[in-house]
């Protein structure tokens, strides 16, 4: 256990006490297994209603599993996934999609982690050529791997483009809560253009639970079988469901994310004008990406926990979580200021 608050990841935070309380409540007595329990039914119904899903909601253990399951609903064996080069799916999931789905990822370099219709169009040139894999799914992340957030207009443009090109739109929503807090609109508006998406709990106060939300009714055939085959059908599903019920109660999911976002903004504000510290991406969620001098990074890392995102460009990622406090942020910002002279 670290004494100082970690700025390494929102995964470093513990679970919210409301989530743990709900798990304890779900622990009373016996319940039907494999999702046939009232907790799971309630969580699925509440998430489905919140998102305006015409399909269904399927709980899984991890974000990687959610991405694999979600995309597996959209692909035929010769079809491929277009995604940003920086996508977690591409960089940090140990090739799960390639291994488990056998699907090729067609990656696109992006300056800000976002795909656009023009960037996707550049990957569609070989359609119809029998020698080439056929692009079928566009996979975005909301928020992106760089902490940036698609606007509603950008999402709708992607949805329209995908519709007109016969492509399916998948979203990795490991931090969808942070995007919802950022955009300040109903989550249903954000997810309306998507065919399937994940909805993250783990980074936002859950112990470990993610949901796959199937927006379109015509994609429901076989989801239950796919989840089982992909080893994500929890026998004691009620505990995954209880985590979501804890987050859904009184909109804790949104309040947690809004707080984490606010703390990232406070950090960015606190660092304005510090010599040698430049924001590398706009702060639109709970991550601050900044470039620093190497000696400055080294000095800070002696005392504080965070990741160097890009060794060559000396970019670091500082993440906040639902339980990051103002004094955590202020102490860290003070340390960044105090160590700024290092390496001058
Ligand atoms: C955007 C995004 N998607 C998916 C994942 C994968 O989640 P997990 O580590 O639970 O498999 C992560 C984890 O960091 C993530 O940041």
Looking at ligand 1, which atom is closest to the CA of residue 62? 10
Question: Which residue's alpha carbon is at the smallest distance from atom 5 of ligand 1?
Answer: 63
Position 344 scores a pLDDT of: 52
Share of the chain above pLDDT 90, in %: 98
Residue 203 CB coordination number (10 Å): 24
Task: Identify the burial level of 303 via C-beta atoms within 10 angstroms of its C-beta, where 0-12 means exposed, 13-18 middle and 19 or more buried.
Answer: exposed
Determine the pLDDT at residue 3. Answer: 79
End-to-end CA distance of the chain: 33
- Provide the sign of the torsion angle of the four alpha carbons 186, 190, 194, 197, taken in this order: negative
Tell me the two tokens of residue 65: 């599993």
pLDDT of residue 70: 98
Which pair of structure tokens corresponds to residue 180?
């919802």
The span from the CA of 59 to the CA of 247, in Å, is 14
Write down the pLDDT at residue 287.
98
What atom in ligand 1 is closest to the CA of residue 61? Answer: 10
Task: Please give the number of the atom of ligand 1 that sits closest to the Cα of 172.
Answer: 3
Q: What is the mean pLDDT of residues 114-128?
A: 96
- Predicted pLDDT at 311: 95
d(CA 195, CA 53): 9
How remote is the CA of residue 266 from the centroid of ligand 1, in Å?
24
Closest CA to 96 of 84, 110, 81, 108: 81
19 vs 245: CA distance, rounded Å? 8
- Number of the ligand 1 atom closest to the C-alpha atom of 210: 10
- The closest residue, in CA terms, to atom 9 on ligand 1 is 63
Mean of all residue pLDDT scores within the chain:
97
**Angle at alpha carbon of residue 281, lines to 278 and 285, rounded to 5°:** 120
* Residues 276-304: tens digit of each pLDDT: 999 999 999 999 999 999 999 999 999 99
Cα–Cα distance, 165 to 17 (Å, whole number): 45
Helical H segments across the chain, by residue range:
17-26, 38-51, 63-72, 88-91, 96, 117-121, 152-165, 176-183, 187-191, 223-229, 238-248, 252-270, 294-301, 326-338
Residue 312, pLDDT above cutoff 70 = yes
* Calpha distance 268→262 (Å, rounded): 10
Q: Which residues line ligand 1 (CB under 6 A)?
A: 62-64, 88, 141, 145, 172, 174, 202
* CA pair distance 59, 232, nearest whole angstrom: 8
- For residue 1, is pLDDT > 60? no
Query: Which residue has tokens 């798990």?
Result: 23
Q: Measure 66 CA to ligand 1 centroid, in angstroms.
A: 9
Per residue in 51-66, pLDDT (tens digit) is: 999 999 999 999 999 9
Q: Distance, CA 306 to ligand 1 centroid (Å)?
A: 17
CB atoms within 10 A of CB 176: 26
The preferred substitution site among 69, 92, 211 for testing ligand 1, maximizing ligand atoms within 8 Å of CB, is 92
The residue contributing the CA closest to ligand 1 atom 13 is: 63
Half-sphere exposure of 247 (CA within 13 A, CB side): 31
CA of 64 to the centre of ligand 1 (A): 6
49 to 163, 215, 245, 307, 341: CA distances (angstroms):
23, 11, 13, 37, 52
The string of pLDDT tens digits covering residues 190-210 is 999 999 999 999 999 999 999
Q: Are 171 and 138 in contact (CB under 8 A)?
A: no
What is the layout of strands, in order, in the sheet containing 287-291? 278-279, 287-291, 315-319, 307-310
**Is there a cis peptide before residue 143, judged by omega within 30 degrees of 0?**
yes
């Amino acid at each position: 256990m670290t004494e100082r608050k970690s700025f390494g990841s929102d995964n470093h935070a513990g679970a919210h006490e409301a989530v743990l309380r709900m798990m304890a409540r779900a622990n009373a007595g016996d319940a039907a297994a494999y999702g046939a329990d009232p907790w799971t039914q309630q969580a699925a119904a509440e998430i489905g209603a919140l998102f305006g899903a015409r399909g269904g909601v399927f709980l899984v253990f991890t974000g990687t599993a959610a991405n694999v399951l979600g995309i597996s609903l959209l692909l035929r064996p010769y079809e491929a996934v277009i995604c940003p080069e920086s996508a977690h799916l591409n960089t940090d999931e140990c090739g799960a999609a390639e291994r488990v789905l056998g699907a090729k990822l067609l990656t696109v370099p992006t300056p800000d982690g976002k795909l656009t219709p023009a960037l996707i169009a550049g990957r569609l040139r070989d359609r119809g050529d029998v020698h080439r894999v056929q692009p079928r799914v566009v996979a975005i992340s909301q928020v992106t791997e760089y902490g940036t957030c698609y606007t509603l207009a950008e999402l709708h443009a992607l949805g329209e483009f995908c519709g007109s090109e016969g492509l399916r739109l998948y979203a990795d929503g490991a931090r969808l809560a942070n995007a919802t807090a950022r955009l300040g609109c109903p989550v249903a508006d954000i997810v309306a253009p998507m065919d399937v998406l994940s909805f993250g709990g783990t980074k936002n106060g859950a112990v470990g639970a993610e949901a796959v939300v199937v927006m379109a009714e015509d994609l429901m055939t076989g989801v239950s079988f796919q989840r089982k085959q992909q080893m994500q059908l929890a026998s004691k599903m009620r505990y995954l469901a209880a985590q979501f019920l804890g987050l859904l109660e009184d909109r804790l999911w949104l309040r947690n994310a809004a707080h984490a976002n606010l703390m990232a903004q406070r950090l960015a504000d606190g660092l304005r004008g510090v010599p040698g510290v430049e924001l590398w991406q706009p702060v639109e969620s709970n991550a601050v990406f900044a470039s620093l001098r190497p000696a400055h990074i080294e000095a800070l890392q002696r005392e504080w926990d965070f990741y160097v995102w890009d060794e060559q460009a000396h970019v670091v990622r500082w993440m906040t979580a639902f339980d990051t406090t103002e004094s955590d942020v202020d102490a860290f910002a003070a340390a960044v200021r105090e160590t700024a002279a290092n390496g001058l």
